[in-house]
Structure 1
Amino acid sequence: MVNSLTARQIRKATNRFVIGTAAMAVACSSIALIPAPAEAVTRNYSCSAGGFTGTIRVDYNQGIGRNASSIIEVSYKINKGSNKGGNKANVGYSDGGTLPIKKFYTGDAGIQDNQWHYLGGSYTRGFGSVAARFVFDKSRASDPSCNVKITF
């Protein structure tokens, strides 16, 4: 036996299917447009020279492609080991992933007490190189220095 449907019944069923499909597409596209939450990451980068060790700490949100998308804070610390020296070190940080290049610098006021000190932060970056430089303050001797290449 053949089940026969009228043209009106077919149109009614087709309209329900089309409306249901359109509603599902809208719901799915709304979900797809919600960005994934950024993952907060903290990384330390160090270099040493003349018995001193300088460390840069970068707190950032990790974005698409596992790269840093926004920097939350940049800090530094200097361990002077057994060296004599004051608190006139120089710490510089430069991010080429921004235009203009984002730079933080202590001048001659870098503290060498092996504690974390705020250097700068809270900016959005693109792709580009990031580096830091330490010039340590050593009493009655030339000041040793080193560079840190920072990768995200």
Structure 2
Amino acid sequence: MVNTLNARQIRKTTNRFVIGTTAMAIACSSIAFTPANADAVIRDYSCSKGGFTGTIKIDYNQGLGGRIGSIIRINYKINKGSNRGGNKANVTYVDNGNLPATVFKTGDAGVQDNKWRYLGGSYSRGGGNIYVKFIFDKSFAADPSCKVDISKY
């Protein structure tokens, strides 16, 4: 059996192909001109309390004057040292560089296994401070906490 198309169907199909191809070329050209890692920076910030250490890793694109421009990814890790404790720590990331502030939280699900865990990311920011608060989960005792203030960014 032979499949035949009339002139109108061919024109319609060809136009869709041309439009689709043009859109793809524009999308690809914008990707090609965007430097993926030219100004990417990764920084770690830590605080300690009661034998616990909380570390936040911010992967970002550098903006004007060396400031943090757009955030790519935020990860955290908690080293509980010799402390006994579960995985009910709290990690709260607050970026006041936006209105309203950008906030990422683990709730009571912060894992304390000294491995990097994804917290959030992928947003643009203005000027303003960033801080991260860690509330560590300690068994049969008060939960120690500390705060990392990244005010220069």
User: Shorter-chain TM-score category?
Assistant: 0.7 to 0.9
| TM superposition shift of 1:65 | 1.2
| TM superposition shift of 1:108 | 0.2
For 1:21, the equivalent position in structure 2 comes to none
For 1:115, the equivalent position in structure 2 comes to 115
What is the CA deviation profile of residues 116-148 of structure 1, one whole-angstrom value per residue up to 9, with x for unaligned ones? Answer: 000000000010010000000000000000000
For 1:106, the equivalent position in structure 2 comes to 106
CA distance in 1, matches of 2:67, 2:77: 24
Q: Tell me which structure has the larger Cα radius of gyration.
A: 1
| TM superposition shift of 1:99 | 1.4
After alignment, is 112-121 or 61-70 more displaced? 61-70
| TM superposition shift of 1:48 | 0.2
SS in 2 for 1:70: strand
For 1:77, the equivalent position in structure 2 comes to 77
Residue identity in the other structure for 1:97: G
**Alignment RMSD (CA, Å):** 1.7
Residue identity in the other structure for 1:121: G
Extract structure 1 runs of 4+ deviating beyond 4 A.
34-38
Matches within 5 A, 1:86-101: 86-101=86-101
In the superposition, the TM-score normalised over structure 2's length comes to 0.74
Residue identity in the other structure for 1:59: D
Structure 1 residues not aligned, in runs of 5+:
1-33
CA distance in 2, matches of 1:35, 1:77: 31
| TM superposition shift of 1:95 | 0.2
| TM superposition shift of 1:80 | 0.2
Matches within 5 A, 1:1-152: 39-150=39-150, 151-152=152-153
Residue identity in the other structure for 1:57: K
Q: Percent identity?
A: 63
CA distance in 1, matches of 2:63, 2:130: 17
In the superposition, the TM-score normalised over structure 1's length comes to 0.75
CA distance in 1, matches of 2:46, 2:39: 23
